[in-house]
Chain A
Amino acid sequence: MTSRVSIWVESRRNGALLALWSLAAALVVYVFINGGYLIAVLQFAAIYVVFVTGLNIFMGYAGQVSFGHNAFATISGYTSAVLTTSYGWEPLTAATLGLAGALACALIVGYPTLRLRGHYLAMATLAIGLIAYEIAVQWGSVTQGYMGISGIPPLGIGRWAVVSDRGVLLLLALIAALGVLASAGIRRSRLGRALVAIAGSEDAARALGIDVARYKLIAFLISAFYAGVAGSLFVHAVGFVSPEVYGLHMVVLAFTMLYVGGIGTVTGAALGALIVSLLPETFRAFNEYQDLAYGAVLILILIYAPGGLASLPKLWSARRKEGA
């Protein structure tokens, strides 16, 4: 069964999940038609869908920990930004090279780092993220330090560039959807099953002939690829980049999205990215209490749906069975 079909079947079996996705699609359509500030919010959400979906492959499917995937977004984003603004490269070519750089870094860093487990792996990856941030700050002759780089051209090929807000949203939504479908395909594949087995028990996986070290590295590279794509998309969609864009805030936000949506599920990461991006806007009317309301809702979600929003249908179905 293809990944596209599997998501559809998963949703059809689950009325609540289908309702959530219909709501998300309706929202995108509504914002697309009416325009305004929410277009920028949804563009941001779509970029995070890509980033978090990739992180979910490494953390959710393979059960590893990374606080450092912002490093790959930094490498890809800055490479793309510098090559297009300083050297006049085509955005697509620059983004491709940025992506290759992010993958090369992931390979160099991942090979020794992935021998570590649990907290040690978390600390090592955190260090990678911090190093990338510091380089972005200190290497002022290339990155312009805290000032950042502006005037980054939009994505496009040759004379064809996506310049309108609606066009950018459509392109980002398309790339995000492709990212989720690819993630669903990975989860259903031999590779996906091996990753979930590794998350369950590395020794049991080894005892079945699964090369744990190799698959952990593959998962790391795939998630670094997603992070790199997100990093490049950001600079070309916004037209500006500074070190703060890819700072620790990005990691915290991605973790929030991952856990609110449902870590380890195919669609939870995307759902989390959408909801967490939109929540602050929902509470804008609360003025100075906006952050308080945002935080309270996140806590409530995690208390009542510890498996994330994607687990709600299962929770409701279990409650219905208990009640029957």
Chain B
Amino acid sequence: MAAALEVEGLSARYGHVEALRHVDLHVDDGELVAILGPNGAGKSTLMRALLGLVPTEGQVRFCGRAVPRRNPVAATALGLILVPEGRGIFAPMTVAENLELGAYLLKGNQAEFTRRQDRVLTLFPRLKERLAQVAGSMSGGEQQMLAIGRALMADPKILLLDEPSLGLAPRVVEEILEKLGDLNRSGLPIILVEQKAPLALKLARRAYLMSVGSIAAEIDPRHVKSHDDLARFYLG
């Protein structure tokens, strides 16, 4: 299968701290890849680096084209869409306004906007009931749905999700992961950063384990049958 996203030797620094060290990974067409690892492993930095939100060295290619570094607008235009850690919804705006912002690069194509919005509201019917509600007044789960919905409004060619389960009740997490599974089955490649490894491995076709800013192991979820298997990967 052809690689949708190829990353070679990606490094990033925060001042003197090396947050990413020569990361190599790839995501194939239609694949859901999980990025696992403990706090501080560099998972979120990797997401930010892919989009060009932090200064980096190395190469990122998407569908055979180089993703410009330090240019998130160009990366977004190529179809790399990030749902940031902590959701990043615009709290004072309504749900409808948040969704409109998701389609920011669409620039006035009303028919396409309606098509995308219908798709999002079909996937997350709860957002339809709350279109006029101020986003900051919604529950954590609904805010996460909005964050994903807003990303889908950008018509992603690959979706980067940073800890979508953070701070959510287990039932809500299951609901959201189920929707992500549906999206992936429809052909959308996804990179899912997740600390709750068992949940992510249920969905993922492959996983990378990160440790201290670099890829420590590539995991085939079929080989992880128990917590002990997972612990072996974590502990090396």
Contact = CB atoms under 8 A, between A and B. Distances in A.
Contact of A207 (B53, B92, B93, B97): B53
Interface in A180-200: 190, 193-194, 196-197, 200
A193 B154 contact: no
20 contacts: A193-B100, A194-B104, A196-B92, A197-B93, A200-B90, A200-B91, A201-B90, A203-B48, A203-B53, A206-B53, A206-B73, A207-B53, A207-B72, A207-B76, A207-B81, A207-B82, A208-B76, A208-B104, A209-B72, A209-B77
B84 A196 contact: no
B125 interface: no
B90 A207 contact: no
Nearest to B82: A207
A291 interface: no
Interface string B51-62: 101000000000
A264 interface: yes
B102 interface: yes
A315 to B, nearest CB: 15
Nearest to B80: A207
B220 to A, nearest CB: 30
Contacts of A194: 101, 104
B104 A209 contact: yes
Contact of A203 (B84, B91, B93, B150): B84
Interface of A: 190, 193-194, 196-197, 200-201, 203-204, 206-211, 264
Nearest to A198: B90
Contact of B90 (A190, A197, A209): A197
Given A204-B84, A204-B88, A209 B76 contact: yes
Interface in B64-91: 72-73, 76-77, 81-82, 84, 88-91
B102 A208 contact: yes
A253 to B, nearest CB: 26
Nearest to A211: B73
Interface of B: 48, 51, 53, 72-73, 76-77, 81-82, 84, 88-93, 97, 100-102, 104-105, 107, 150, 154
B88 A203 contact: yes
A9 to B, nearest CB: 13
Contact of A204 (B90, B100, B105, B107): B90
A193 B93 contact: yes
Contacts of B97: 193, 196
Nearest to A204: B88
Contacts of A211: 73
Nearest to A209: B76
Contacts of A201: 84, 88, 90
B72 A206 contact: yes
A209 B105 contact: yes
A269 B93 CA distance: 19
A323 B107 CA distance: 44
Instruction: Name the residue in A206, A208, A209, A211 with the highest tally of chain B Cβ atoms < 10 Å from its Cβ.
Output: A208
B81 A264 contact: no
Contacts of B101: 193-194, 197, 208, 210
B8 to A, nearest CB: 23
B92 A264 contact: yes
Contacts of A196: 90, 92-93, 97
B73 A209 contact: yes
Given A201-B88, A203-B48, A207-B51, 20 more contacts: A193-B101, A193-B104, A194-B104, A196-B92, A197-B90, A201-B84, A203-B53, A203-B88, A204-B84, A204-B89, A206-B53, A206-B72, A206-B76, A207-B81, A208-B102, A208-B105, A208-B150, A209-B77, A209-B104, A211-B73
